[in-house]
Amino acid sequence: MIMKGICILGATGSIGVSTLDVVARHPELYNVVALTANTNIGDLFPQCLQHRPETVVIVDADKARQFQEKITGTPISDIEVLSGSAALEQVAVLDNVDSVMAAIVGAAGLLPTLAAAKAGKTVLLANKEALVMSGDIFMQEVAKSGAQLLPIDSEHNAIFQCMPHGYQSGVRAVSARRILLTASGGPFREMPLEQLQHVTPEQAVAHPNWDMGKKISVDSATMMNKGLELIEACLLFNMPSEKIQVVIHPQSVIHSMVDYVDGTVLAQMGNPDMRIPIAHAMAWPERFSSGAEPLNIFDVERLDFATPDLQRFPCLRLAYEAIDAGGIMPAVLNAANEIAVAAFLDGQIRFTGIPQVIERCMKNFSADEAGNLESILQVDRQARDISRKIIQEINS
């Protein structure tokens, strides 16, 4: 393997931290060119001391000025410090960047991730919202530029690993009959339905298997995370939704499966450690150490599987409806969910109010074609405004 330059969008988040851990294990193979953060300069500073990027982007201008002052007179005083969301796109397309880890959570990651795809970079896709929002537009840019798209979500990475040798994202594998997309079920899969309305943010962010950020943890608890992954899987693997079956698998040992026409079912297994899919994508088509503990199959006492209850998880139902409607509806779903989750974490709505806000918002839109990126961004803004109004109505 030759030395590659990497840009990490969202360096201080959980995926960014895990990516840098993998990078540190293979300094002869990866050179950190750029790191980005929104406001978290406290964690960004030691990352820069260790990995010495050429450029950092701190979206918040005030924090960027503080960071510039912080590095003055230190061994990393020569790092170029940029601010603003446009700078994220700038570093994603730098000539000496080969791979871009797209790990910014939410819609904020769309433009820099799309820019990397247009530039023909190897895109390590951890930001599912970017693909959910832009859909076919994103996949068309990947095909046009010749970019390599490698999924980082543990489930999509597992599916990718189970696809035929030489598989490329966006191509339909004709021998694959269906995809079995596994889900832990989150912390409330067995909670009595009448108790869900009393769930607190603290309970919702306490995922039983994975260590994730607050937004993603809440999405896992509502299973909207799996709904977004369903939409992402339809696009990444060019499969209709009826060919993708969500399976509750509480142990999170099997990360997903592919069912082939000859009756073979291939499954990817491993401990729930995001360094595994990160290392797979970074080393692809080869493999190298991730630092994760190897799976001891003798410690796995049982593997359980169940069909998800759509009454318990209405967000999953809404995701199926959004991808089947097509057009702008996945973008509407994503925008409404981001606003609803933020409102729940802020104590403005109940846990059960999240799908209510999303469903009410979706009813304000028809499944128009997403003609271009600007129309998607406009729909995103409209859906957010409508969702905020719905939340105000709930609280009035």
Closest CA to 230 of 143, 163, 135: 135
Position 314: which residue type? P
Q: What is the pLDDT of residues 159-181, one digit of tens each?
A: 999 999 999 999 999 999 999 99
pLDDT at 206 over 90: no
Q: Determine contact, residues 16/43, Cβ cutoff 8 Å.
A: no
Confidence of residue 210 (pLDDT cuts 50, 70, 90): low
In sequence order, what DSSP letters do the residues of 152-196 get, joined into one string? -SHHHHHHHHHSPTT--TTS--TTEEEEEEEE--GGGTTS-GGGG
Task: Tell me what pLDDT residue 282 has.
Answer: 98
Mean residue pLDDT of the chain comes to 94
Q: Burial code of 168-183, b = ≥16 C-beta within 10 A, e = fewer?
A: ebbeebeebbbbbbbb
- The pLDDT assigned to 209 comes to 62
CA distance 281 to 78: 31
Q: What is the mean pLDDT of residues 293-320?
A: 95
- Residue 395 — pLDDT band, cuts 50, 70, 90? confident
**Which residues have C-beta within 8 Å of that of residue 161, sequence separation ≥ 6?**
268, 280
For residue 44, the one-letter residue type is: L
Q: CA 119 → CA 39, 55, 105, 128, 152, distances in Å? A: 27, 18, 21, 19, 20
String of DSSP letters for 118-152: HTT-EEEE--HHHHHHHTHHHHHHHHHHT-EEEE-
Confidence label for 211 from pLDDT (cuts 50, 70 and 90): low
The pLDDT of residue 287 is 96
pLDDT band at 396 (very low <50, low <70, confident <90, very high): confident
pLDDT (tens digit, 9 = 90+) per residue, 51-94?
999 999 999 999 999 999 999 999 999 999 999 999 999 999 99
pTM beyond 0.75: yes
For the ranges 70-79, 99-108, 207-216, 377-386, which has the lowest average pLDDT? 207-216
Question: Which domains, and CATH codes, for the chain?
Answer: 4-151 (3.40.50.720), 173-271+308-395 (1.10.1740.10)
Largest CA distance in the chain: 64
Q: What is the DSSP letter of 348?
A: S
